[in-house]
Structure 1
Amino acid sequence: MTAGPRRTPAGSDQSSPARRRGRSARLIGVSMLAVAALTVLTGCFGSDSQQQGDDGGDFADDGCTNLVVATSSEKVNMLDALADAFKESPQHKALKTCATVHPINVSSGDATRYLTSGQDWPDENTRRWPTLWSPASTVWTDRVAAAASPALVGEPESFTHTPVVFGVPETMAKALGWPSKQIGISDIANLCADPAGWGSVGKSLWGAFKISKTNPNTSTTGLSTILMQSYEASGKTSDLTADDVAAAADFSRLFEECVIHYGDTTGKVLKRLYDQTQGGSSGSGYVSAIAIEETSLLNYNQGNPDSHTVQPGEELKPPKEKLVAIYPKGGSMWSDNPITVLGADWVTDEQREAGLAFMAFLQTEAAQKILPDYGFRPLDESVPLGKLFTEKYGVDPAQPTVTLPKPSVDVVSAAIDQWTQIRKPSSVLEVIDISGSMDDPIGDGRSKLDGAIEGAQTTLGHFRRTDDVGVWAFTTGLGSGPGGNVAVLREPSPLGSDLESLQSSLDDLRFSNRQGTPLYDAIAAAYDEMRQRAEPGRINAIVVLSDGQDTDSEMSLDSLITKIGKASREGGDAAPVRIFPIAYGEGADTSALQRIAEATGGQWFDASDPAKIDLVFASVINNF
């Protein structure tokens, strides 16, 4: 990525959903009935964003009008550069007072939830409350307008765009006939349906064909992909209807069967693939194709798989094998990246005027010329794309040749509702550390254990009645369960109507015996249990929460890694069990938990701030 002026974005406390207390400002015209409806649609949301302390950082008062832009992570670097260029623009010079633009990283799904909550922006520092919002797609601004108020999202205007593609390791893409052969979503679905998997194209050693997709409740890419599936099944390239979505259910269900697991961001999957390939693995045992935006693929191929904010002096190392963009022959949807001045009552007249000036600047040639350096396509077609948009970085500037238009809000809602029913079924065992340190307070009148229980209880509602759900707790001296250190609250089995009773069982953990931390032994026992239960066609997973380091296991970490990593190393496992650890609090052994996740193709999550455990749980549960 072309070097430009970059600074660390001062993040709002955007990973927290906690409603603000003691603030009088409220959003304009929010209907609470509509809010409830949208909450059902948006579901759980992630916490994949950066945070900053309350020292002000870039938000210190510099005498200029403070303009915060809440934006998706892949645009933070670019908006930093655009903010600096804005200072020198005629649009800025026409203002009565100077203005300083600060991008903050907030996922599109998170911001949608915040803006329809009827509450203040979830940040103690009001200087970090946004004047402008730039989600990845107008799908999100449409949904806020429908559920809350059109005035709240103002008049969104796109300033750049990027198509949704399938990123495929180059060697695999060539096995599919790329680049001479056009590949469609139906071709990928056929690979999913064929029991031979990669063997159907002469690559049996590669095992099953595996797809990674993000959760459409929180991710623009995930939402676009399910709509592209409906377009493909209908044979249409425009005018998609809710009836078309309904008729596409069987086709989309087949497509979902290939999914390894869902997630709230593509960055985590790309980072996992990048780490594997840099370590010497081809990555083929993890994933075959990833539904991503073209700009994320460009970031990956430059060595920035999670699209993080590049720091001054940071050196990016390209992956050993690049991803190439498969532009589906039936057409691609585009993330149209709008920006708008929010109609929230915390936005002052001065901020509104400056925000509109910044929006006007983004449409100028000077601004549009900056976009390609950051992997985004300008709306001004006279602006050259530059060196990134070449075969070297895995993209084809002449593609996609077919653009699939954004459907209406009711069609989008129908697609999300359908996905909830047809998504790949899950079998998940939650394993919770209840050792003595879980009694430590987390600063809001709750203990660590209180936070863990409430986080787990809140997210259980994500599962369907047909999903298998189990819960274990572990500490030394329990005298029962696998190894004598595990309490079995519920064996993995269909949730059915047991939601309330399971939530009550979690409450019982508050009165449990709490001693040592036999972390490795508990994970080994859980892995044995889930391996016996694992079924092809399901997402088989273990979620582990621990707030400390192993102190009481008979098994060593290396022995555990050898045990749980065996299936991944051998490849071709039809029913893998992936582990998703949550490092809970500052004392958690993040290094060990990361190794455990990577050994099984899972992901680890950082909950170093225990007060945010409910949000981290939500982010984890988005994988299932």
Structure 2
Amino acid sequence: MAPALRHLASRSAPSRAAGRRRAVLAALVAASAAATLTGCFGDTVDEGFGDGGDFVDDGCTSVVVATSSEKVNMLDALADAFKESPQHEGLDECATIHPINVSSGDATRFLTAGGDWPDADQRRWPTMWSPASTVWTDRVAAAASASLVGEPESFTHTPVVFGMPETMARALGWPNAEIGITDLEKLCQDPDGWGSVGKSLWGAFKISKTNPNTSTTGLSAILMQSYEASGKTADLTTDDVAAAADFSRVFEECVIHYGDTTGKVLSTLYDDTQNGASGSGYVSAIALEETSLLNYNQGNPDSHTVQPGEELTPPKEKLVAIYPSGGSMWSDNPITVLGASWVTDVQREAGEAFAQFLQTEPAQQILPDYGFRPLDGSVALGDLFTEAYGVDPAGPAVTLPKPEVAVVSAAIDQWTQIRKPSSVLELIDISGSMDEGIGDGRSRLDGAIEGAQSTLGHFRSSDEVGVWAFTTGVTSAVGDGIVVLRDVTPLASDREAVDSALDDLRFAEREGTPLYDAIAIAYDEMSARAEPGRINAIVVLSDGQDTDSSISLDSLLARIGQSQGEGGDAAPVRIFPIAYGEGADTTALRRIADATGGQWFDASDAAKIDLVFASVINNF
């Protein structure tokens, strides 16, 4: 059993139960965090949280830590250890640490927006914040106030690497050869792709990265690209970022799609390899943190909270860490007591005690069990940090320092302009069941329309956006069962026109659900116009099961899955289904996503559709 699993197995039953409750809470807070992408803090963020769960009064001071998802498990264990520490004993009253999952980028938006934390239950307002990198605390300090983020201090770190399937890495000379971002960029640029190194069957070289607006890994990756293009290992400037535009644009061209988390990409890769051949045409390299790679190789691709009795199955082929020869950024994982108005003096004192505990040897010894590197060099890394789990304890050879805030902002702004262009068709179910209410005065269709409208601000004018709707009893030039509200064309200045077209759906006739037929027609349309230099995608929203298609699910899967074999397709069309409402056929929608290398999203709570749309749109 791997060290992380041994550590989890040794925890008491009450602590495991707390972990389960925290996992539920974490998912809900993460969903509420997505609301910032739609520009809405709203009152809906408290829906579905139940009666407080783990926040039941235990007689101790409650200290909530808003943290990036990969650290929830570890902070849970550190919270237990804190109770037995001298730092805790020195408090006037006991304190209970509650880690909750809020992405680093979303927490940054919450804090810079001003006002209260966007959660109706004040028990969940954070006393402390632990983003993945001080890049985020610096941005809040610059955009809001330095006093709001207090005095952040790192307590652990993990490098940003490129994870590659071992077979592919060996084709590039791993583990003996030095591999840099320039080497990956050349593979992206070469029309022969993998053929340029004698592996033509593998097709194009494909990279997965996360959205830098919400993800530390995505942000670090674009900064590493600028460092590589400049030839520097320190003192990166805004001029360096500007000069790196062409280099980074080429690198972005081989991105398969952007994601909101690496966990979703890793889960797709894991399912692809476990359920199919030992290799995968899905992706060649993934920008991720070393700790996420370690979780993947243990059989936990989404870094979820491991439950009592849960057995993890390692992947058929592990990922190995490529530490770029030009250097790696590190996620330095600070923790700080917030200078927010809602933090009490007692909470502040307890938070400061917990932060002090994290620097001690007993706390540092816990970190490697969860795939994080301790700051204390005297602490052994342990069995996880070995080639058996795909990592090199001596890597990376070069550390790239965090640039100034202005340089980080310039890199994000540049990415917005050079990121891979999108061609997206939104396919919306308007069958009769969409008239059902979702409990807030809106129908399911109202929620779907507003969710789709909220995504339009994400797209550039040069991105292509189309909107179709489907139900029985209608017809159009593209086929029966389809209403074309907007052809897939550059958005340009048509945002208001698209808004209006979506509003028209409220008056459409609504009958049966030809789900599979609609997807087949949409897939044929998008495949015919797909280009290698774009993210070609279909977003499908359906609240029910197929009732009226002429094509079967198996026939549909055979039709849309042809490009996912070894080597894949130079211009694949990926499908991103949203399972909308409790009646949605989640099994079918998941299989449709898997067949094309897309991802499916759960909106079984229909009231959260706008939040789910925000998460989906991070992929484009």
TM-score greater than 0.5 by the shorter chain: yes
1:397 is the counterpart of 2:393? yes
**Which of 79, 92, 97 does residue 93 from structure 2 map onto?**
97
Report matched runs for 1:59-458 at 5 Å: 59-458=55-454
Tell me the residue number matched to 1:36.
Answer: none
Given that residues 50 and 105 in structure 1 are in contact (C-alpha distance below 8 angstroms), is that contact kept between their aligned partners in structure 2? no
- Measure how far apart 1:56 and its partner are: 2.1
- 1:332-351 deviations in whole A, cap 9, x for unaligned? 00000011111121111111
Shift of 1:131: 1.0
Match of 1:32 in 2: none
> In the alignment, which of 2, 7, 13 is matched to residue 29 of structure 2?
13
Deviations 1:468-514 (A, max 9, x none): 11000111112334332111011101111111111111111111111
AA in 2 matched with 1:326: I
Query: 1:566, 1:514 → 2: CA distance?
Result: 32
Relative distance call for 1:185 and 1:51 in structure 2 (3 A) is farther
Q: Does the 8 A contact of 1:210 with 1:259 survive in 2?
A: yes
Identify the range of structure 1 (121-130 vs 209-218) with the bigger mean alpha-carbon deviation.
121-130
Q: Matches of 1:570 and 1:185 in 2, distance apart?
A: 24
* Residue 3, structure 1, aligned to residue 7, structure 2: yes
The residue that corresponds to 1:466 in the other structure is 462
Aligned length: 601
2:34 and 2:210 map into 1 onto residues whose CA distance is 24
What letter is aligned with 1:319? Answer: P
CA contact (8 A) 1:424 1:538 kept: yes
Return the letter of the residue paired with 2:433: S
Question: Is the Cα–Cα contact under 8 Å of residues 546 and 582 in structure 1 kept in the other structure?
Answer: yes
Q: Using the TM superposition, name which of 441-450 and 256-265 deviates more.
A: 441-450
Q: Structure 1 stretches of 5 or more lacking a match?
A: 20-38
> For each residue in 1:532-564, what CA deviation from the matched residue of structure 2 results, as whole angstroms up to 9, or x when unmatched?
111111111000001111111111111111111
Taking a change above 3 Å as real, the CA distance of residues 494 and 182 of structure 1, as seen in their structure-2 partners, is: same
Instruction: Give the C-alpha shift of residue 618 in structure 1.
Output: 1.2
What amino acid does structure 1 have at the position aligned with 2:29?
Answer: D
- Taking the aligned partners of 1:611 and 1:147, their CA distance within structure 2 comes to 32
Q: Contact between 1:107 and 1:135, CA under 8 Å: does it hold in 2? A: yes
Q: Distance in 2 between matches of 1:393 and 1:196?
A: 31
* Equivalent-residue separation in structure 2 for 1:13 and 1:301 (angstroms): 27
User: Aligned equivalents of 1:460 and 1:161: distance in 2?
Assistant: 36
1:442 positional shift: 1.3
Indicate how the Cα distance of structure 1 residues 123 and 18 shifts in structure 2: closer, same or farther if over 3 A, else same: farther
Aligned to 1:489: 485
User: The residue matched to 1:401 in structure 2 has which SS?
Assistant: coil
Equivalent position SS for 1:111: helix
Contact 1:583/1:605 (8 A) holds in 2: yes
Q: Is the 8 A contact 2:280 2:565 kept in 1?
A: no
* Deviation digits for residues 385-421 of structure 1 (CA, Å, limit 9, x no counterpart): 1111011100001111110000011100100010011
Residue type of the alignment partner of 2:196? S
In the alignment, is the contact (CA less than 8 A) between 2:423 and 2:464 conserved in 1? yes
- Matched-pair contact (CA < 8 Å) for 1:44–1:622: no
**Partner deviation per Cα, 1:149-194 (whole Å, 9 max, x = no partner):** 2121111111000000000000111000001101000000001111
2:583 alignment partner in structure 1:
587
Distance 1:297 1:526, change over 3 A: same
Runs of 4+ in 1 over 6 A off after TM superposition: 42-45, 49-52
Counterpart code for 2:549: S
Matches of 2:341 and 2:308 in 1, distance apart? 36
Task: Provide the secondary structure at the position in 2 that maps to 1:484.
Answer: strand
- The alignment yields a C-alpha RMSD, in angstroms, of 1.8
Identity of aligned residues (%): 80
Tell me the residue number matched to 2:530. Answer: 534
Question: Partner amino acid for 1:402?
Answer: V
Per the TM alignment, residue 574 of structure 1 is displaced from its structure 2 partner at its CA by 1.1
**Residues 217-250 of structure 1: CA deviation (Å, up to 9, x unaligned):** 1100000000000000000000000000000000
Q: Higher mean Cα deviation, 7-16 or 393-402? A: 7-16
1:477 alignment partner, SS class:
strand
Q: Distance in 2 between matches of 1:249 and 1:408?
A: 18
Instruction: Give the corresponding residue for 1:25.
Output: none
Contact 2:579 2:589 in 1 (8 A): yes
Mapped partners of 1:201, 1:416: distance in 2: 32
2:562 corresponds to which residue? 566
Counterpart residue type for residue 542 of structure 2: S
Say whether the 8 Å CA contact 1:240–1:411 is kept in structure 2. Answer: yes
1:57 and 2:53 matched: yes
Alpha-carbon distance in 1 for matches of 2:367, 2:153: 16
The corresponding residue for 1:31 is none
- Kindly provide the amino acid, as one letter, of the partner of residue 540 in structure 2: V
* Structure 1 position 503 matched with structure 2 position 499: yes
> 2:490 is aligned with what amino acid?
P
Matched, 1:620 2:610: no
Please identify, of 271-280 and 364-373, the stretch whose mean Cα deviation from structure 2 is larger.
Answer: 271-280
Residue type matched to 1:381 in 2? G
Query: For the residues of structure 2 that align with 1:214 and 1:282, how far apart are their CA atoms?
Result: 25
Q: Partners in 1 of 2:139 and 2:546 — Cα distance?
A: 45
Q: What are the ranges of 5 or more consecutive residues in structure 2 without an aligned counterpart?
A: none
Once the two structures are superposed, residues 129-159 of structure 1 have per-residue CA deviations (whole angstroms, 9 ceiling, x without a partner) of: 1111111011111111222221211111110
> Residue in 2 aligned with 1:27?
none
Q: Specify the SS of the correspondent of 2:29.
A: coil
Contact 2:202/2:566, CA 8 A, preserved across alignment: no
